[in-house]
Amino acid sequence: MSPVLFWLFTLLMLGFATSVVVNRNPVASALSLVGAFLALAALFVGLDAYFIAVIQVLVYAGAVMVLFLFIIMLLDLKAEQRRRFNIVTLLGGSIVAAGFIAELTALLSKFQLGKRGFPTLPGAKPVDDVYQVGMTLFTTHNLPLQVTGVLILVATIGVIILSRRELK
Amino acid sequence: MDFFGSIPWLLIFTSLAKTIFLVFLVVLPMVSYTVYAERRVSALIQDRLGPNRTGFPLTLLGFKKDFSPFLGGLGQPIADAVKFLLKEDLTPGHVNKPYFWLAPALAMMPAIVTLSAVPFGSELFGYKMVVADINVGLLFMFAISSVSVYGIVLAGWSSNSKYPFLGGIRSTSQMISYELCMGLSAVPVLLVTGSTGLSKIVNYQVEHGWLLAPFTDGGLQLREVLLIIPIFIAFITFTISMFAETNRLPFDLPESETELVAGYHTEYSSMKFALFFLGEYTAMIAGSALVVVLFLGGWHVPFIPDGSHGAIFGLINIATFFGKVALLLICFIWVRWTLPRFRYDQLMKLGWLYLFEIALVNIFITAGILAYTK
Amino acid sequence: MAYTVPRPKLTFAEKLYLPNIVAGLAITFKHLKRMLKGETKVVMQYPEEKWDKSMPEHYRGAPTLVTDQHGRERCVACQLCEFICPPRAIKITPGHIPAENAFAKVEKYPAAFDIDMIRCIYCGMCEEVCPEQAIFLRKDYAITGTSREQMLHNKEKLYELGGVFDGLIHKWNPEK
């Protein structure tokens, strides 16, 4: 990936991510998050990880955020827009963030493996990543996959039972 | 750093050429003539004549006679476009302006972007006739078309009035529901062809016969005959969900005129409305192209070789592809003017209780047939 | 007493819904085919086809003024039409016929006779009320113009449209 494109999409993503936090209008925040997801997908494309990029757009931007937006619109959150920045929370938040960044830099400078570059991928041929992801999931990581499936199934059944009780 | 040396100029140039050809020379004229066909076919179905007057006003350019071709009215799309461009662009005072302006663009753009993954021809002068030949083409199309819902939702929300809002809400739930069915009904095709790349799916069908008509390669195996059943079911469910995805009748609840005035685009006028219109028809073309690629063999017709045998065959292949798409578009129109609109609860019931289950079971049937006829 | 309309029992094919869709498509296709073959009768294509030939005798088109067989204008400027006209489209300025004229007995003639065709509603009341049979609704229906002035029919225009009418009334005839 050209460094120009990398920086372009990184800056886009960071800009959108900031506007998620800064925006007072919930719908604008949700849309900024979609923008951040799309920029992140573009970064994945830059890594030749088309499958993850597409899934990122399909699941997060296409389904999850649409549902979010749906609910935000239905709730019509006006209170959020009226709220102003609070000095104390702003100060507390920035202290926590600064601490986290200091911790990260201190740790990463001691992390020897991190100083090496990524190994170059063998061959210039594009990888069939859907095939490889599928093979890995269903051979080496089959048990975790099944367990996750059961977990989600349990959650689904739970949601159905809860919503049915609500109706009565 | 060598910014400019690393830029693949040839790739950019050919992609640009293909994009311009696809979007401006094929799809946009096709969209406007689909609108014309819609009006004309609907009229013929309803025992009327439809727009049959507007020819090309050649007298304005100094020719002796106006040119109105044999069917008449072929100049209508151009007149419509001019009308849309010249109309007053009215923005109501009560709308949320930035989003109100953003929404039409968001409705139009994803529909065009989806077309970039479609292989609309085999080869021409050694170049593959697809803008972006990615190995997740099908998923890419699903992903981008799922983004197109934002245009409608935002239009409904930013209009700040009740009918557009109801339209936006309806389209959100409708699109999310039918996306699932659409994805699941395409899975049997992926199982059979073994790839999510659209060019590979087409190449498989060139070698083994179209999925819906496996005899087109000359031979017929037991496995192919057995597979017709699940593939046909997949075709039906896929087409139905595509109707719902593109908001076409009988599933046009987001803009149902009788209940919601005009749904999400009630407050829009002139070119902003036209963008919604174009977006809907482009999505129709993208959907038809997807059906052609998945089930009807893409650009392939029996006995005509691909473009590597000569440019003329490459051109024929492109024409074949868009011919198939046009046939499907006619079917779209035909269905629209036959069926009445679904009720909203019926729509949800159909999506979640029937199509979803049928598509799911269909995957198992396909997998079973594939496993036992190896 | 409330009566519940029983729901019809649907067969399996009807529940499946797809056969009925195909049947509906067949019906619309039949209509399409008959249109393409030209078997369906459609409305008249106006500027190319006109119904002038089959127009009924009693058709009420543009109101016109007529002259009699001696070339005398029939209107005597009695202004009855002006008063009866519901949209007040008619405006008459009466004039005096000099004594030396052969028709001096008539006394009055319309110096100006204007019908505003933007106002006219083609009701035919002027024709009905006219004691002299001077104003008739003719079969001209394509009354168009590009300005208000063009839509105002003055006396010359009205006589041009009306022509000669050899009618019953002879009471102003000098031979009588």
Q: What's the pLDDT tens digit per position in C3-15?
A: 888 888 888 877 7
Could you give the residue ranges of the DSSP H alpha helices within C38-106?
80-84
Q: Does C15 touch chain B (CB under 8 A)?
A: no
Listed residues A31, A59, A85: the one ending a domain: A85
Q: pLDDT tier at C175 (50, 70, 90 boundaries)?
A: low
Angle between helices C18-37 and B28-45 (to 10 degrees): 90
Q: Which pLDDT belongs to residue B1?
A: 44
Per-residue pLDDT reduced to its tens digit, A63-77: 888 888 878 877 766
| Contacts with B41 from chain C: Cβ below 8 Å | 32
| Contacts with C35 from chain B: Cβ below 8 Å | 44-45, 47
Is residue C176's pLDDT more than 50? no
Say which range, A26-30, B1-5, B200-204, has the weakest mean pLDDT: B1-5
Q: Does B85 touch chain A (CB under 8 A)?
A: no
CB contact under 8 A, B153 and A3: no
Between B223 and B345, name the one with better pLDDT. Answer: B345
Looking at the structure, do residues A76 and A132 belong to the same domain, yes or no? no
| Contacts with C32 from chain B: Cβ below 8 Å | 41, 44-45, 334
* Nearest residue, CB atoms, C28 vs list B45, B48, B49: B45
Cα–Cα distance between B326 and B370 in angstroms, integer?
A: 32
**At residue C148, what is the residue type?**
R
| Contacts with C27 from chain B: Cβ below 8 Å | 338
Tell me whether residue A4 is in a domain.
yes
Give the chains touching A; criterion: ≥3 Cβ pairs < 8 Å.
Answer: B
Question: Which secondary-structure segment (H or E) carries B190?
Answer: helix B162-193
Is residue C171's pLDDT more than 70? no
Q: Both tokens of residue B44?
A: 């013929």
Give the chains touching B; criterion: ≥3 Cβ pairs < 8 Å.
Answer: A, C
CA distance B338 to chain C (A): 6
CB contact under 8 A, C24 and B338: yes
Across the range B337-356, mean pLDDT stands at 84
CB contact under 8 A, A50 and B147: no
What is the 8-class DSSP label of residue C104?
G
CA distance B334 to chain C (A): 7
Q: Both tokens of residue C61?
A: 């088109």
Is residue B168's pLDDT more than 60? yes
Q: Quick count: other Cβ atoms within 10 Å of Cβ B115?
A: 24
Q: Which pLDDT belongs to residue B204?
A: 82
Tell me whether residue B1 is in a domain.
no
Is residue B3's pLDDT more than 60? no
Is it the case that chain A and chain B have 3 or more CB pairs lying under 8 Å apart?
yes
Of B204, B196, B294, the closest CA to residue B242 belongs to B294
* Nearest residue, CB atoms, C35 vs list B44, B335, B337: B44
Across the range B41-57, mean pLDDT stands at 80
Q: Please give the tally of structural domains in chain B.
A: 1
Q: pLDDT tier at C139 (50, 70, 90 boundaries)?
A: confident
| Contacts with B175 from chain A: Cβ below 8 Å | 66
Domain encompassing residue A70? 1-85
Across the range A97-104, mean pLDDT stands at 93
CA B312 → CA B19, B131, B315, distances in Å? 20, 20, 5
Q: Which pLDDT belongs to residue B14?
A: 81
Tell me whether residue B70 is in a domain.
no
CB contact under 8 A, C28 and B48: no
Q: Which pLDDT belongs to residue A148?
A: 93
Q: Which CATH architecture has domain C63-162?
A: 2-Layer Sandwich (3.30)
Is residue B311's pLDDT more than 70? yes
CB contact under 8 A, C32 and B338: no
* Nearest residue, CB atoms, C28 vs list B48, B236, B338: B338
- Residues of chain A whose C-beta is under 8 A from some C-beta in B? 2-4, 27, 31, 34, 38, 50-51, 54-55, 57-58, 61-63, 66-67, 69-70, 73-74, 126, 128-130
* Nearest residue, CB atoms, A2 vs list B7, B154, B176: B7
Across the range B347-367, mean pLDDT stands at 87
Question: Which secondary-structure segment (H or E) carries C64?
Answer: strand C63-65
Q: Quick count: other Cβ atoms within 10 Å of Cβ A89?
A: 9
Is residue B222's pLDDT more than 80? no
Cα–Cα distance between A104 and A124 in angstroms, integer?
A: 34
Of A62, A57, A49, A12, the closest CA to residue A32 belongs to A12
Per-residue pLDDT reduced to its tens digit, B266-298: 888 888 888 888 888 888 888 888 888 888 877
Average pLDDT of chain C, as a whole number: 83
CA B62 → CA B54, B55, B59, B90, distances in Å? 18, 15, 5, 36
Q: Does B41 touch chain C (CB under 8 A)?
A: yes
Tell me whether residue B82 is in a domain.
no
| Contacts with B179 from chain A: Cβ below 8 Å | 62-63
**What is the phi/psi pair of residue B56, to 5°?**
-105, 120
CA distance B236 to chain C (A): 10
Between A32 and A164, name the one with better pLDDT. Answer: A32
| Contacts with A70 from chain B: Cβ below 8 Å | 153, 169, 172-173
Domain encompassing residue B313? 90-372
Q: pLDDT tier at A11 (50, 70, 90 boundaries)?
A: very high
CB contact under 8 A, A66 and B149: yes
Rounded percentage of chain B residues whose pLDDT exceeds 70: 91
Q: Which residue of C has its CA nearest to B53?
A: C45
Looking at the structure, do residues A3 and A59 belong to the same domain, yes or no? yes
Q: Which residue of B has its CA nearest to C31?
A: B45
Is residue B255's pLDDT more than 80? no
Q: Which pLDDT belongs to residue B268?
A: 84
| Contacts with B338 from chain C: Cβ below 8 Å | 21, 24-25, 27-28
Residues B135/B197, Cβ–Cβ less than 8 Å: yes
Q: Which pLDDT belongs to residue C170?
A: 54
Cα–Cα distance between A111 and C60 in angstroms, integer?
A: 100
Is residue C89's pLDDT more than 50? yes
Is residue B139's pLDDT more than 50? yes
Listed residues A85, A118, A143: the one ending a domain: A85
Q: Which pLDDT belongs to residue C132?
A: 82
CB contact under 8 A, B143 and A61: yes
CA A101 vs. chain centroid, Å, equals: 20
Tell me whether residue A117 is in a domain.
no
CA distance B337 to chain C (A): 8
Q: Where are the domains of chain C?
A: 63-162
The CATH number given to whatever domain includes residue A58 is 1.20.120.1200
Question: Which secondary-structure segment (H or E) carries A22?
Answer: helix A3-22
CB contact under 8 A, C21 and B339: yes
Per-residue pLDDT reduced to its tens digit, A24-36: 778 888 888 888 9
Across the range B189-195, mean pLDDT stands at 84
The complex scores an ipTM of 0.77
Across the range B326-341, mean pLDDT stands at 87
Is residue B69's pLDDT more than 90? no
Cα–Cα distance between B340 and B172 in angstroms, integer?
A: 21
Q: Which pLDDT belongs to residue A96?
A: 94
Say which range, A104-118, A125-139, B269-283, C162-176, has the weakest mean pLDDT: C162-176
Tell me whether residue B143 is in a domain.
yes
Q: pLDDT tier at A97 (50, 70, 90 boundaries)?
A: very high
Tell me whether residue B315 is in a domain.
yes
| Contacts with C18 from chain B: Cβ below 8 Å | 236
Average pLDDT of chain B, as a whole number: 81
Tell me whether residue A21 is in a domain.
yes
Burial (CB < 10 A; 0-12, 13-18, 19+), residue C174, is exposed
Q: Which pLDDT belongs to residue A99?
A: 94
Say which range, B57-71, B104-118, B330-344, has the weakest mean pLDDT: B57-71
Q: Please give the tally of structural domains in chain A.
A: 2
